[in-house]
Structure 1
Amino acid sequence: MNDRTENLLLALPGILLLGLAFFLPIAQMLLLSISGPDGPTLSHFVRFLSDPYYLNILWRTVRLSLLITLICALIGFPLAYIMTKVGPKLRLWLVVMVILPLMTSVVVRTFGWMVLLSRSGLIPEMLRDMGLVGRTFALMQTETAIVIGMVQVLLPFMALSILGVLTRIDGRLEEAARTMGCSFLATIRTVVLPLALPGIVAGSLLCFTLSASSFVTPNLLGGTRIQVLAASIYKSVTATPDWPFAAAQAVILFAGILLVLAPYIKLTGTKHG
């Protein structure tokens, strides 16, 4: 028995488990999405892609996911950079502060934001007292509330992805750039940022895919008035119920995420092994 056969036999239980837990449900979803009373049909996809209501939900999901990813990157990169420059003890506490929210349920954190963002919550009341908004100002059931809640949920994934890359960058490269006359911002732009790009891309991929498929936080903070694609799938399953149409929406969401994954895998496989 050669090494390749032995490795395959060792990996076989994991492959079977992956097939049962991942590929089999996806295959069932694909079959359900094209099922109709008279046989296979694409009518469910045509219904989704020809209805302005569902196209608006799709566009909102993509737009909010991109905005959430951008904000996470703008906050996560400076945070990760600061963590690489402080002492070991302070870095440990900063990492703990970043990881700590992941130990709390997303539902609990979202309910916390519902309390803070409600009409009588701390944040709207503070803005009213400062005279920045009117008395009728509200944050709940708005896209702003969804963005705030999702950024808090996904920021650790971005910060930790970038931190893992920044810690491997030789500090002497920054020193050399400063010695050659670069300012601090020029050093960040020309040296640190290009070297940190793999971490930024990996973090952005995580944030975008998790945001696009998120249900709990957008549903609780946005309400029924502002729906994203995951909430629309849930509504099609529970309210109608229309399982084939819900499966078609899930396939569209799955295909959209694959479109994001494919270039990333090709790019990182070519450049970084």
Structure 2
Amino acid sequence: MRDRIEDLALAGPGILLLALAFVLPITEMLRLSIVGADGGLTVEHFARFLTDSYYLGIVWRTIYLSVLITMICAVIGFPLAYVMARVRPGLRLWLIVLIILPLMTSVVVRTFGWMVLLGRGGLVPFTFWKLGFVGRNFTLMHTEAAIVIGMVQVLLPFTTLSILGVVMKIDRRLEEASRTMGASFFATLRTVILPLAMPGILAGSLLAFTLSVSSFVTPSLLGGVRLPVVAASIYDAATKTLEWNFAAAQSVILLVGVLLALTPYIKLSGRRHG
């Protein structure tokens, strides 16, 4: 009994903070989403979102871009994490610092930097123009490619560090045994390292997807008003048209959609990799 009291005393502040910062806002959001103009209960806000082709297009764009960003982060993050895990400790430290360094800068600042690089006359369009690939007035701003580039730069550290923690625990003797048995370097990566690193890849992909699907700043600045995502639609409904109930309904749909997408993902990773 005494141990339980001590455990509750230690966990109490955290539970209280979680209730105030998460449970209460979520509860209020759920309440707002089902309140109609007359104060009664209604599902008109959900019906409006789910039956309008414009909003369904926003949902599809958000899911499509999030999956693409997650895949690119995993494809880049795995070899990068492998290299970081196999170099000498001194060099690994500097590589980790380079990976973490962007996280010390505001996402807004980094996104504005991409706006300069990708906009008309920026370094990337100017380079493509000099190489003869595009015309003089080419720009990547307000395109899906700009959103993907910006989001990959933001989320790549999360994926890489998640994979790095798992790869560093893989016994190097397994690689040596595979090479001794005649497997090539790439065959060893595919048949030995990749399966053992899958828990880290799943964890990093999970982080990348959840952060991407709910991201607002980078997609809004790089995609513009022509390419809205769900988070931007929620922001517009809450701040521009002041439709708080509709914004709450969209938030609930986003939350439920993420949970539905992640539930089999989490079960699969838990069953296969513990």
State if a TM-score over 0.5 links the two structures: yes
TM-score by length of 2: 0.96
What is the total number of aligned residue pairs between the two structures?
273
Aligned residue number for residue 117 of structure 1: 118
Aligned residue number for residue 77 of structure 1: 78
Distance 1:272 1:4 in 2: 32
SS at match of 1:240: coil
Distance 2:230 2:240 in 1: 15
Distance 2:270 2:15 in 1: 22
- Asked if the contact 2:202–2:269 (Cα under 8 Å) also holds between the matched residues in 1, the reply is no
- Asked if the contact 1:84–1:91 (Cα under 8 Å) also holds between the matched residues in 2, the reply is yes
Please state how far the C-alpha of 1:137 moved relative to its aligned partner: 2.0
Please state how far the C-alpha of 1:260 moved relative to its aligned partner: 3.0
Aligned residue number for residue 262 of structure 1: 263
Deviation digits for residues 77-119 of structure 1 (CA, Å, limit 9, x no counterpart): 0100000111111111100000000000001100100000011
Distance 1:135 1:222 in 2: 21
Give the aligned CA root-mean-square deviation in angstroms: 1.2
Aligned residue number for residue 225 of structure 2: 224
Distance 2:156 2:37 in 1: 45
Deviation digits for residues 127-166 of structure 1 (CA, Å, limit 9, x no counterpart): 0110111233210010100000000000000000000000
Identity of aligned residues (%): 70
Note the residue ranges of structure 1 that are not aligned, 5 or more in a row. none
TM-score by length of 1: 0.97
Q: Does 1:63 align with 2:68?
A: no
Please state how far the C-alpha of 1:268 moved relative to its aligned partner: 4.2
Distance 1:198 1:90 in 2: 25
Distance 2:119 2:137 in 1: 12
Please state how far the C-alpha of 1:265 moved relative to its aligned partner: 3.6
Q: Which amino acid aligns with 1:205?
A: L
SS at match of 2:209: helix
Distance 2:191 2:46 in 1: 46
SS at match of 1:192: helix
Distance 1:130 1:272 in 2: 47
Q: Which amino acid aligns with 2:95?
A: L
1:208-247 alignment, distance < 5 Å: 208-247=209-248
Deviation digits for residues 147-202 of structure 1 (CA, Å, limit 9, x no counterpart): 00000000000000000000100000111111111111111111000000000000
Aligned residue number for residue 152 of structure 1: 153
- Asked if the contact 2:121–2:137 (Cα under 8 Å) also holds between the matched residues in 1, the reply is no
